[in-house]
Structures are given as structure tokens and as C-alpha cells.
Copies of this chain bind each other. A is one copy, B any other.
Amino acid sequence: MTRKQLPQPDRGEIRVEAVLQALGEPVRLQIVRALADTPEGIACGEIELPVTPSTRAHHLRTLREAGVLTTHTEGTRRISSLRREDLDALYPGLLSGVLSAEQ
């Protein structure tokens, strides 16, 4: 069982435009909501989404490159979780404000 962290921006490299653009897409917002409910992280495939696996991978990459989530491998699975600490430090209130919206 190998464990590896996928490449992601450092906290200082996160740009607010990228974060907002990442969050502004319905499928990606759905992913973020799912991750917010499971702080321990979740395997990508376990989130129910109305898109194919390849599109799902695309959205997860977008979120990771924007700095919204972090992903590490656990065997063949990839576990993702919100970078809540980083986001709260950079943009206090943003994430909680977004999540407070009734979907």
C-alpha cells in the first residue's frame, strides 16, 4: 500500500480568482459540499455526480490546482479533502459563506 501526495499549489501560490472560478461550477461545488461533510476525506469515485469518470477527474484536477482540495493516493484510490485550513487563513469566511448557501 503506497501513499503519495498529488502536486498542489502552496498556500502562498493560491489565487483568489482561481478559487472563485473553481467554486463557480455546479459539479465542482457539489464536490466541495460533499467534501465539507466528510473532513477525513473521501474517494473521488464515491461522490455521486452526474458526469462520467473522466469529467470527474477533470473537475478534481481543477479544484486541486486551484488549491481548494488536496489529494493523496491510498493504493489505487485517491482520497481528497478540503484545504479548509489554508482557505480559512487566506480568505476567512469565504468557505463557510459558500457552504451556508442552501443548495
Task: Verify A29–B24 contact, CB threshold 8 A.
Answer: no
Task: Verify A20–B29 contact, CB threshold 8 A.
Answer: yes
Contact residue among B24, B91, B94, B101 (Cβ-Cβ distance under 8 Å from A24): B24
Q: How far is the CB of A68 from chain B (nearest CB, A)?
A: 12
- A13 near B: Cβ within 8 Å? no
Residues of B within 8 A of A18 (CB): 24
Quick one: which of A37-55 are within 8 Å of B by CB?
none
- A5 near B: Cβ within 8 Å? no
Task: Verify A98–B29 contact, CB threshold 8 A.
Answer: no
The distance in angstroms between the C-alpha atoms of A26 and B21, with both chains bound, is 10
Task: Verify A20–B17 contact, CB threshold 8 A.
Answer: no
